[in-house]
Structure 1
């Protein structure tokens, strides 16, 4: 594990060793790692060397410190590519993770002027409002508010929205979902998000609004989501023109 004759600095060897333990699952989120003194005694190196490795892993968000208690393994963020249009359920399934939803409310509301304009419907037209918590492995990841024209997507029920909405639209209604436009911005949680996402007040979140359209260009849904910034990150590939 630690080779004192290697040209690779000892602190870096220790960093890589701890990373391997985390990535292999031998060290799990919330586990406390040995103290600096324990590492120093085990490998017969200075505590300063150990401290450098630990500080680097804290800065890289593999570990976090709790004053007076110790150093712990941090939950690793889920990464979602911004290329391609997938539902939360599809995204979690592709990772081999169990996705679930907790329905908060499901009702039909009249579209206000802004929502009517976004969905391309008449003001006061019927719109499904679906509010639910999105979970991965039973951990709250996002608070999602979905607005769908009831005249464009018919037959929605509470039971259907508990599972994959996109699967219902494409396989049961034979409608082809084509593309979406997303806007992402940073924010601080409000009281509703604190309650449903189980995060402290003043926690950072990512607000994401997606307008999704069918193959004929019709926008059928507007989704406003609040993602936990401590558990989720987004990735995009950039190509220089």
Structure 2
């Protein structure tokens, strides 16, 4: 049965198309390397404008689910890499070990009740408060990564009262909350920088970036942090060499 976009719902058409493509990828109907129909073909098949199709495909490219190859088309991206981290260091420690001076500029600090996603990641209840810290991570005064970290305040009361500029939160947690940060797992995928990310990271829009999701655990394998990071492409040598 042919999938039909619902034009009588407030859900945007581009978003419906985007979700349909994601479902095809997750079900295996579209596999890594498979070519995506052209904007014209999708426009005709779903009876929507090419601009609507372009918005859906562009978001999927920016999220790393699709890749564009000039002159060839748009393809399903390879799945992101998942790994357990056996040598766990903070950004600050990692930069210092490479002879670089780490820094951080706080963009935003908020305290919100836990969303359904954060409830799952941080093992907290819906009424629990979560500290959300957005920082621009620096090395030798150059922007390296845009980081959004989430911490459960039920586990770290008063953490929201600290100054997070040029501060290692890991070191603070270990010294003030008697919590050993012992392990982490993360997933990595490639993407393209949107305008906001490009401006903060001092790169051009649509430049290649690394998108990283990381879970950090204490010695009892209890989650203490969920963080998403956007690394500029030129920072990858610092991360992996």
Shorter chain as normaliser: what TM range? 0.5 to 0.7
User: Is 1:228 aligned to 2:232, yes or no?
Assistant: yes
82-91 or 211-220, which moves further after superposition? 82-91
Note the C-alpha offset of 1:158. Answer: 3.9
1:109 is aligned to: 112
Structure 1 residue aligned with 2:205, among 197, 201, 204? 201
Instruction: Give the distance between the partners of 1:131 and 1:220, measured in 2 at CA.
Output: 16
Instruction: Give the distance between the partners of 1:120 and 1:161, measured in 2 at CA.
Output: 27
Q: Deviations over 1:24-73 (max 9, x none)?
A: xxxxxxxxxxxxxxxxxxxxxxxxxxxxxxxxxxxxxxxxxxxxxxxxxx
Instruction: Give the distance between the partners of 1:186 and 1:161, measured in 2 at CA.
Output: 28
Instruction: Give the distance between the partners of 1:197 and 1:138, measured in 2 at CA.
Output: 11
Instruction: Give the distance between the partners of 1:161 and 1:115, measured in 2 at CA.
Output: 24
Q: Deviations over 1:85-108 (max 9, x none)?
A: 111001111122110000001110
Structure 2 residue aligned with 1:121, among 111, 124, 131? 124
Structure 1 residue aligned with 2:181, among 174, 177, 181? 177
Instruction: Give the distance between the partners of 2:174 and 2:130, measured in 1 at CA.
Output: 19
Note the C-alpha offset of 1:229. Answer: 1.1
Unaligned runs of 5+ in 1: 1-81, 237-241
Q: 1:195 to 1:158 in 2, by over 3 A?
A: farther
Instruction: Give the distance between the partners of 1:135 and 1:161, measured in 2 at CA.
Output: 11
Contact 2:102 2:166 in 1 (8 A): no
Note the C-alpha offset of 1:162. Answer: 3.7
Note the C-alpha offset of 1:83. Answer: 4.7
Instruction: Give the distance between the partners of 1:135 and 1:160, measured in 2 at CA.
Output: 13
Contact 1:140 1:198 in 2 (8 A): yes
Give the paired residue count: 155
Note the C-alpha offset of 1:215. Answer: 0.6
Q: 1:235 to 1:83 in 2, by over 3 A?
A: farther
Instruction: Give the distance between the partners of 2:162 and 2:191, measured in 1 at CA.
Output: 30
Q: 1:160 to 1:228 in 2, by over 3 A?
A: closer
- Please give the root-mean-square deviation of Cα atoms over the aligned residues, in Å: 1.6
User: Is 1:90 aligned to 2:88, yes or no?
Assistant: no
Contact 1:93 1:99 in 2 (8 A): yes
Q: Which runs of 4+ in 1 moved over 4 A?
A: none
Instruction: Give the distance between the partners of 2:224 and 2:98, measured in 1 at CA.
Output: 27
Kindly report which structure 2 residues correspond to 1:1-241, keeping only aligned pairs within 5 A, or say none: 83-156=86-159, 157-160=161-164, 162-233=166-237, 234-235=239-240
Instruction: Give the distance between the partners of 2:204 and 2:218, measured in 1 at CA.
Output: 38
Larger radius of gyration: 1
